[in-house]
Amino acid sequence: MRLSDSIESFIKTLLSQEETEVELKRNELAEYFGCAPSQINYVLATRFTLDDGYVIESRRGGGGYIRIVRVVESGQQRLAYLINERIGSAISEEEAVRLIGQLVQQQVVTLEEGEIMRAAVSSQALAVPVPDAMKDALRARSMKCMLTAIARQNRSAAKG
């Protein structure tokens, strides 16, 4: 297992189902893993983002800390955020696939739905002779339509 994966796993273990926040000292964590504090910063910046459902608060200095807060939201709230704010007017294939992976991991969509979504936003599905910017715009519209359909389906299931 790579060091970044180990650090991420360690922090996520501390953030159990009951605990929605954890406070750590960057230097102590770096010492525990035998790495530079910048490695801790890298993991936090890439694996504990708002898109991943986390908020990072930090205070520098001798008594400094890092507080990682897991944002608790329903699947519907997550979908609304993605549709209205996160996706925007264009999205790359890589970013779309990453978002779909997060939705599967958070069980907002099933593994099967995720696979269908990945296929729909793939470069093979959008293999038409248009500029990449237009493909990214089409990908964003497709993502928003799929997420809206899933939100409707989830809402109907909740009522029924």
- So what's the pLDDT on residue 134? 95
Of residues 19, 159, 28, 80, the one with CA closest to residue 7: 28
The DSSP annotation for 17-73 comes to SS--EEEE-HHHHHHHHTS-HHHHHHHHHHHS-TTTTEEEEEE-STT-EEEEEEPP-
pLDDT in tens, 111-145: 999 999 999 999 999 999 999 999 999 999 999 88
Highest mean pLDDT among 37-41, 97-101, 115-119: 115-119
Cα–Cα distance for residue pair 35/29, rounded to 1 Å: 9
Domains, the chain, with CATH or none: 3-70 (3.30.56.130), 75-159 (1.10.1200)
Taking the model in full, what pTM does it have? 0.58
